[in-house]
A and B are shown apart, each in its own frame.
Chain A
Amino acid sequence: MVEISMTVNGKPVTAQVEPRTLLVTFLREHLGLTGTHVGCDTSQCGACNVHVNGMLAKSCTMLAVEADGAEIVTIEGMAAPDGTLGVIQQAFQDHHGLQCGFCTPGMVMSAAALLRENPDPSEEEIRAFLEGNLCRCTGYHNIVKAVRAAAEAMG
């Protein structure tokens, strides 16, 4: 076992983990933050996307020990403490950007990463950035609309 410390959604955490523990396992099973999903076994679906020191990363393709000392933001960190949805989350609701919702946490984290580096993306740029987020329900169209709407709402 190894001791690791990190900040998750603004809160400091310290824990003992086995080196083989994936970051997503640590978030879901040790911290109970089950908003981050596991949609595949092959690092291809993006359902597990979180931010590590402000950068988008697949939490299923990173060890918890690699996140030692890092600042992590998960989907739980996107809403206000009283549960009010963040701008991107609200846009997904308003534009029907989800059906079953399984891919949504990863989509929202990717959209947030995109809008930070490109606050006014075109439809084509949104589709290119979301290349690593698979959705089995929506056909992507309303997801792209939601991200555009979020960009406009954030001005």
Chain B
Amino acid sequence: MYAFEFVKPKTVEEAVAALREGEAKVLAGGQTLIPTLKQRLAAPEKLVSLAGVEGLRGIRTGDGVVEIGAGTTHAVIARELAGAVPALAALAGDIGDPAVRNRGTIGGSLANNDPSADWPAAVLGLGATVVTDRREIAADDFFQGLFTTALEEDEIITAVRFPMPKTAAYAKFDQPASRFALVGVFVARLDGNVRVAVTGASENGVFRWQAAEAALGADFAPAAVEALAPPPAEEMISDLHGAGDYRAHLVKVMTKRAVAACG
């Protein structure tokens, strides 16, 4: 690891100010950033820890909305949302392993936007809103390709606001070595529409499978997905864990499983 300075601000404003001076990076749970620093794949001059920042942790539910603070860990979400939004709790409870879930945060996962991460599927699948220190960003505008988001260099995610779905489910096909999603599909029924978001599969990161949304909007059943052609194999990731046509096939299989799990 290269040397860096470490600062621990107490407020979001102080954290943003610290990010503006020099080559600085936010440190949340560190479950992505610290391995990256260890491999010397990044060399920030300064880490701005969010651990001491007030108001970034916790879950509030009410008025058909679930708002999760960006610094809330996967473990806390898995525990606290088990009753209110089981699809989000189950997704959080299946990320990595217990030690990763105790430190890794929803905000860190979204800012990182790994093409195989789980949270982007839930945020896009529910059409959630990403709240930052300066604005609110709709999920459809937030994710912009591999490891790329709408965030500015000095912008901090403070919370994520999910609409409460009628029903929702996440079906994940684990890549057993990394425990990330080889393919993960989040299906949600909201007032008047169905959304289907796919992670792990596409060369461009998380995406909405619109053909499936239309088919499920007309008939919310696994059979409606069965009749569809899978998404184009040449747009899918092809690597040693699975070829593009295999991933395209899995998108269909996992969508059917998620629909079945919605009940």
Contact = CB atoms under 8 A, between A and B. Distances in A.
Interface of A: 2, 18-20, 22, 41-44, 46, 49, 55-58, 60-63, 65-66, 110, 113-114, 129, 131-133
B102 A57 contact: yes
A114 B100 CA distance: 14
B34 A41 contact: no
A131 B37 CA distance: 24
Given A61-B30, A61-B35, A55 B102 contact: yes
Given A56-B98, A61-B34, A20 B4 contact: yes
Contacts of A131: 97-98, 179
B51 A58 contact: no
Contacts of B49: 66
B1 A62 contact: no
Interface string B131-147: 00000000000000000
Nearest to B39: A41
A55 B4 CA distance: 27
A62 B103 contact: yes
B89 to A, nearest CB: 15
Task: Give the interface size bracket for B toward A.
Answer: 20 to 34
Given A61-B31, A61-B34, A44 B178 contact: yes
Contact of B35 (A20, A42, A66): A42
Contact of A113 (B2, B38, B98): B98
Nearest to A19: B6
A46 B97 CA distance: 9
Given A42-B35, A43-B31, A44-B178, A56 B6 contact: no
Contacts of B31: 43, 61
Nearest to A48: B99
Contact of A63 (B6, B39, B177, B178): B6
15 contacts: A19-B4, A19-B5, A22-B1, A41-B39, A42-B35, A43-B31, A55-B75, A57-B99, A62-B30, A62-B103, A63-B6, A63-B30, A66-B49, A132-B96, A132-B179
